[in-house]
Amino acid sequence: MSGALQDWKSQKKPFAAVVSAPVFWLALFFVAPMAIVWLYSFGQNAGPVDIEISGTLDNYKRATEWLYVSIFLKSFAVAALTTLLCLIIGFPVAMAITFAAPKWRPWLLLGIMLPFWTNLLIRTYALMALMGTNGYMNKGLAGLWEGASWLRTLVGMQPLEAWTPVQLLYNNFAVVLGLVYVHLPFMVLPLYSALDRLDKSLIEASLDLGAGHFKTFMQIVVPLAAPGIVAGVMITLIPALGAYLTPDLMGGTDSQMIANVIERQFKRANDWPFGAALSFLLIYAMFILIAFQSMRANKVKEV
Amino acid sequence: MTQAKQPIIQIRNVSKRFGKVTAVDNISLDILAGEFFVLLGPSGCGKTTLLRMIAGFEMPTEGQIIIDGQDMSLVPPNKRPVNMVFQSYAVFPHMNVTDNVGYGLRISGVSKGEIRDRVAEALELVKLGGFEDRMPDQMSGGQRQRVALARSLVMRPKVLLLDEPLSALDAKLRAQMQFELADLQDKVGITFVTVTHDQDEALSMASRVAVINKGEVAQLAPPADLYEYPANRFVADFVGSVNIFEGKLTLDEPDKAAVDCPGLGKIYLNHGVTGPHGADVWVALRPEKIYLHVPGEGKAVRAAAQDAPDGHNLARGTIKGMSYLGDITLYEIQLEGGQMIRVSRPNLSRHDQEDFTWDDKVSMHWRADSPVVLLS
């Protein structure tokens, strides 16, 4: 194995030939546009379409205004809550798949993956159809309400007042629910891969030594699934932090996240330099998260 | 030692079915307190399933397992007075040796001081003193197994279950661990129940062995009885190496018996076999119990063979294969009737292996108490 790798390194020309295409692709379509946006963030509008890159820091100064800081903080809070809920819901799901009969496992995994193959917009609208005031969730609740009301009349009590539909959509609750729905697979898959690698006899050994299921879970399963938990948290937290579509469609006026603000700068406000500055602040925040994770990963390796 | 006769584990008509597959088929046996009990059998015979039912990881489909007088049907693994050493050792990779060994004690709320003392004592017992702070990935397989052993022994279980304890060790270490396990069992006085597919392991360590075949007990006996008095062809063949010939019982009296084996010749035994006259039987003859006649030593050999009537317990053949194993040489000999027989011969002097070579015509004999007549 290592011999083959060393051959690659010594054979410079074929190595360069193979590597140059992706490097070129990355440079042209990733590094260059990012660099341009990065430069914009130090510029100002010099007309409806022209941007003058003057090296000003005004855009970053403006981003420290409480209005934007609070939206940043709120985005973090929403993303963190989403991640936590995904972890709480995803862990039992991942465990269930791990311990399912082998013939069921691919089908259960397919069930987790299936939403990936549907457009996010369609999935979001479908969820909205469920949650609307005339949606199935409200209809179900109305049915329960009427049932309860009928039961009250049976025992001679006053019937309940008429059902008023619950406003499920266009608020922060809807945003978190939508984000959890979209990001759950990102959490389940790394958790599953960590739990799948876990030697089941470790769990049996813990039971054998007198630990109950809860203690075994806390002392053995969680610590050994830690790499999967960290990976799942990162892979959920980062896209949730930059979520745009879900808060845009399912949120109310007070539930915009940072990506919605950035979008507004680029489009309605036509303030590309400020939008660029906000974008890069978001990217830096994500870099810090990733750096934090890799530092932790190195620490684990050292132990 | 009267206490040693008490059964600590009673297995009563236990069956285990996985769907249509019967892994364990109506097994009943008693394991006595303080003994080193071995479940021996080929892979897939149900021995591991039986062990896992004792540990509580599998529930019997039918039957009852009683440990120390208590029915275990509704007792989960974490409440049973047994501990298990897993085939993979299952040492917790995120804990050092001390934390691994102390895990069970911590869980059951033993005081810190007592945990420290008992862990130290257990590590001393398995000769792992000085390894307290090691992580499992810094240890060899043999050392990890000692951690697993200490982790179970520190719980002072009534019974220690060992699933293929030596299968992952290299040959030298395995031989050493065989002695150490037997020694350890003697020291702590805990009942050991071991599963293995390795007959050497079973013979060297066990006080009693249950040979399991297709979910049933083929024979339950001390090691020497298993080897010298196998109950059937499966046991004779599985435990050690053996030659088996089909024959008819022609004589069966309390002090002698004879079998006519078309392949081997006339076989005489100096004891009765209590089988129906004229019945189809099998004769099992161990390779080391057959003497090859070295040319020139004929007289001495014939003298030794005189415990049988003339023409009995003798055979002739041609050497077709030889394998020199150092301590013994193994010969594959084609008998005059065409069948093959295996004979082993100890190399008592440095040149013994030169006595015979390929295609030599040889004659051989065996003593009248060597063949075993098997009815099934």
CB-CB neighbors (< 8 A) of A227 in chain B = none
Straight-line distance from the first to the last Cα atom of chain A, in angstroms, rounded to the nearest whole number:
27
Does one domain contain both B229 and B298? no
**Which chain B residue is nearest to residue A225, measuring alpha carbons?**
B94
Residues 6+ apart with CB under 8 A from B21: none
Instruction: Give pLDDT, residue B32.
Output: 93
Token pair belonging to A90: 């995803």
CB-CB neighbors (< 8 A) of A206 in chain B = 92, 103
**Which chain B residue is nearest to residue A215, measuring alpha carbons?**
B107
Does one domain contain both B90 and B221? yes
Tell me the average pLDDT of chain A. 89
For residue B299, name the pLDDT band (cuts at 50, 70, 90). Answer: low
Instruction: Give pLDDT, residue A33.
Output: 93
CB-CB neighbors (< 8 A) of B57 in chain A = 204, 207
Nearest to A209 among B57, B87, B103 (CB): B103
Q: What percent of chain B has pLDDT over 90?
A: 60
Residues B309, B313: Cα–Cα separation, whole Å? 8
Q: Look at A50-54, A186-190, B102-106 and tell me which has the smallest mean pLDDT.
A: A50-54
**Which chain A residue is nearest to residue B150, measuring alpha carbons?**
A209
Does one domain contain both B204 and B160? yes
Q: How far is A105 from chain B (nearest CA, A)?
A: 19
Domain count, chain B: 2
Contact B155 A223 (CB under 8 A): no
Interface contact B189, partner A, CB < 8 A: no
Boundary-marking domain end, from B236, B257, B290: B236
Q: How far is A118 from chain B (nearest CA, A)?
A: 38
> Could you tell me which of B254, B218, B253, B215 has the C-alpha nearest to residue B238?
B218
Residue that wins the pLDDT comparison between B265 and A83: A83
pLDDT, tens digit (0-9, with 9 covering 90-100), for A20-66: 999 999 999 999 999 999 999 999 888 877 888 888 899 999 999 99
Domain range summary for chain A, segments of one domain joined by +: 66-132+168-302
CA B81 vs CA B56, B157, B279: distances in Å:
11, 5, 49
Does one domain contain both B167 and B36? yes
Determine which of A207, A209, A218, A222 to mutate to test the interface with B (most B C-beta atoms within 10 Å). A209
Boundary-marking domain end, from B236, B267, B289: B236
Does one domain contain both B268 and B122? no
CB-CB neighbors (< 8 A) of A215 in chain B = 107
pTM for this prediction = 0.80
Determine which of A201, A202, A208, A219 to mutate to test the interface with B (most B C-beta atoms within 10 Å). A208
Nearest to B151 among A207, A209, A219 (CB): A209
Does one domain contain both B18 and B158? yes
Q: How far is A224 from chain B (nearest CA, A)?
A: 7
CB-CB neighbors (< 8 A) of B83 in chain A = 208-209
Instruction: Give pLDDT, residue B208.
Output: 95
Does one domain contain both B364 and B255? yes
Residue type, B366: W
Instruction: Give pLDDT, residue B238.
Output: 92
Interface contact B94, partner A, CB < 8 A: yes
For residue B297, name the pLDDT band (cuts at 50, 70, 90). Answer: low
Given a cut of 80, is residue A277 above it in pLDDT? yes
Interface contact B18, partner A, CB < 8 A: no
In B41-138, where do the E strands start and end?
62-67, 70-71, 82-85
Mean pLDDT along residues A202-226: 94
Boundary-marking domain end, from B220, B236, B252: B236
Residues 6+ apart with CB under 8 A from A296: A230
Residues A79, A87: Cα–Cα separation, whole Å? 12
In chain B, where do the E strands start and end?
7-18, 21-32, 36-40, 62-67, 70-71, 82-85, 159-163, 191-196, 208-213, 216-221, 243-253, 256-261, 265-269, 280-285, 290-292, 314-324, 328-335, 340-346, 361-366, 372-374
Contact B135 A303 (CB under 8 A): yes
Does one domain contain both B174 and B207? yes
Pairing of strands B314-324, B361-366: antiparallel
pLDDT, tens digit (0-9, with 9 covering 90-100), for B173-216: 888 888 888 888 888 889 999 999 988 889 988 999 999 999 99
Predicted complex ipTM exceeds 0.85: no
Does one domain contain both B323 and B204? no
Given a cut of 60, is residue B2 above it in pLDDT? no
Contact A206 B155 (CB under 8 A): no
Does one domain contain both B229 and B279? no
Given a cut of 80, is residue A99 above it in pLDDT? yes
Q: Domain limits at B181?
A: 3-236
Mean pLDDT along residues A259-271: 91
**CATH superfamily ID and name for A66-132+168-302:** MetI-like (1.10.3720.10)
Does one domain contain both B133 and B204? yes
Interface contact B162, partner A, CB < 8 A: no
Does one domain contain both B290 and B174? no
Instruction: Give pLDDT, residue B303.
Output: 58
pLDDT, tens digit (0-9, with 9 covering 90-100), for B123-168: 999 989 899 999 999 999 889 999 999 999 999 999 999 999 888 7
Q: How far is A303 from chain B (nearest CA, A)?
A: 9
Token pair belonging to A55: 């090296």
Whichever domain contains B265, its CATH number is 2.40.50.100
Q: Residue A237: how many CA atoms within 13 Å on its side-chain side?
A: 21
Instruction: Give pLDDT, residue A213.
Output: 93
Instruction: State the count of interchain CB pairs (< 8 A) between A and B.
Output: 62
Nearest to A199 among B78, B90, B155 (CB): B90
Given a cut of 90, is residue B77 above it in pLDDT? yes
Contact B90 A209 (CB under 8 A): no
**Which chain B residue is nearest to residue A202, measuring alpha carbons?**
B90
Instruction: Give pLDDT, residue B301.
Output: 59
Whichever domain contains B39, its CATH number is 3.40.50.300
- Residue A45: in which H helix or E strand, if any? strand A44-45
pLDDT, tens digit (0-9, with 9 covering 90-100), for B339-372: 999 999 999 988 888 888 888 888 888 888 888 9
